[in-house]
Structure 1
Amino acid sequence: MIIGRVTIGPAVGEGAFSTVYIGKYFGDVVAVKKQTRQGRDLEKYLLRELSVLKYIRHQNMLEYIG
């Protein structure tokens, strides 16, 4: 994924540790998740979440691309 090619739009959701934005990546609609808090435990949580997301395929979820 080329980070500089992601255009971030408005926020569409917010949780305890992050905010999700709608965005565009080479013309495709994407979801962009940004951490709002820092910490070693939060980093472990995010890495665990990403390791699961890369395998999920469902009609109501965007594909994980990086």
Structure 2
Amino acid sequence: MVQLIPGKGSGKLKQRVLAFLGQRHIRRLYHSVETLAGNEGRVIVRIRLASASGIAHVDDEEEYDWGM
């Protein structure tokens, strides 16, 4: 489990973090994303466990939007 803490503020950084996590090639790397109702400044990402064949493969040919 990874906790990302973009803070409360205006919410723009949290929106950007969630948009990044919503990209198809990134979604393959985690199990779920949770935002807690009582704590708007925190995002919890549950990472997938590596299988016997390794971590989920990301195609080299895909174009990445790292949000930067």
The normalised TM-score by structure 1 is 0.31
Write 1 or 2 for the structure with the bigger share of strand. 1
Q: Which protein is bigger by CA-based radius of gyration? A: 2
The normalised TM-score by structure 2 is 0.30
